Amino acid sequence: MNEYEVIKKIFYPLSFKKEFSLNLDDDAGLLPNKKQIVVSTDSIVEGDHFQKNEKNPELIAKKLLRVNLSDLASMGADPFGYTLNLSLSKKLNKKNLVKWIKLFAKGLKEDQSKYQIKLLGGDQGVVDVEASVNLPTGDGWAVRLFAFTREDDGFMTNPNSDNVDNQDPEVGAYDENGGRISITGPLSDNLSLYASYRFNEYEGPVNNWARELGTPPNMTYPKALDAGLNPSHDRKTTGAKLELVWEMDGYDLTSITSYTDTESTRITDVDLTQFWFMNTYRPEEMEVLTQEVRLTSTTDSNFQWIAGIYASNYENKMDSYLHFGPGIILPDADFKLPFELRDEENTHRAAFGNISYEVDDHLFGKLANKGGQNAPH
């Protein structure tokens, strides 16, 4: 459940009608201006105003309302409505997050009914959760798991979002998830292995174009993108890596193999209008395979060396096109015009090496004595 769905399904029933709350589509609300207006702002923070292990979100919500209502009462003001800014802990996973918010909203509902107030508007920020675990499995083997999820509610709105299926009205909002599993350990007395698999999924904006307002140097940017289509970028990446190390007599032989596959689609409303004039679609697929083999000296000698070979294969396909709406190019139909087609494959090979010799103090001493003996008298 994204931030917009949370507002509509959980907090919208707590709000005023449209002329005051603006359907909770903005970060502000409207107040009737027949009398003097008193505004109170007072936040409560976990660990300072309520215990870190507080298990009742309803009580937290009620305390939040009452500390602000108390400030209004001390001014002799009659409460009318409230705004809500909510920042949540990274410790809450998605399931517990929704449950917590619902209980929090229940507490708000009970107290706003008691004090005859309703929700005007507010803001929710970013949710970022990460987790990792290391699992020793015995005999020198270990497994590591890592996962993350991030959500951002965006920074602009698009009033035409309802005209497109599955389009988030929050322009710039994104969801990203990813993870990695890796394993390492000995295959024999002189052979060790490291292997990993990773994935990443991203659904969010691409280039958020917006027309500036005003004239230089007093330029501002709108809070609404009045376009027919949100700029979007859907990307999926998977990858794997295998590293083998053989410990030989005086040197190590290392083999590193890596593979990455990325599929993405980028969409942009080029004309920046609510009408379907011209959009760009850029589906793309990339595959990268690399292989490295190297020898590395492991003796205690002053003379050390590294030698190896490297190869990579890169494939990239793109079938981009301009998508014109009906009536722009053809009278009664849309029209697709290819503008960036790509089908390329590149292979690279290289050899590398490095030699070093450490000059010790004993050799420097010999050179210094020799230089002193040959110096003119």
pLDDT, tens only, 164-173:
555 655 666 7
Q: Model confidence over 34-51: pLDDT tens digits?
A: 565 666 666 767 766 666
Q: What is the mean pLDDT of the chain?
A: 79
Residues paired with 252 in a beta bridge = 247, 296
**Predicted local confidence at residue 71, as pLDDT:** 79
Residues with Cβ < 8 Å from 140, sequence gap 6 or more?
Answer: 185, 186
**Predicted local confidence at residue 42, as pLDDT:** 66
Helix orientation angle between 57-74 and 94-115, rounded to the nearest 10 degrees: 40
Q: Model confidence over 57-69: pLDDT tens digits?
A: 888 888 888 888 8
Query: CB–CB of 358/302 below 8 Å?
Result: yes
Q: Which of 62, 99, 79 is nearest to 16 (CA)?
A: 79
- The domains found in the chain, sorted by start residue, are 1-125 (3.30.1330.10), 127-377 (2.40.170.20)
Q: Model confidence over 296-322: pLDDT tens digits?
A: 999 988 899 999 999 999 999 999 999
**Predicted local confidence at residue 202, as pLDDT:** 92
Q: Model confidence over 174-186: pLDDT tens digits?
A: 788 999 999 999 9
The pTM of the whole model exceeds 0.75: no
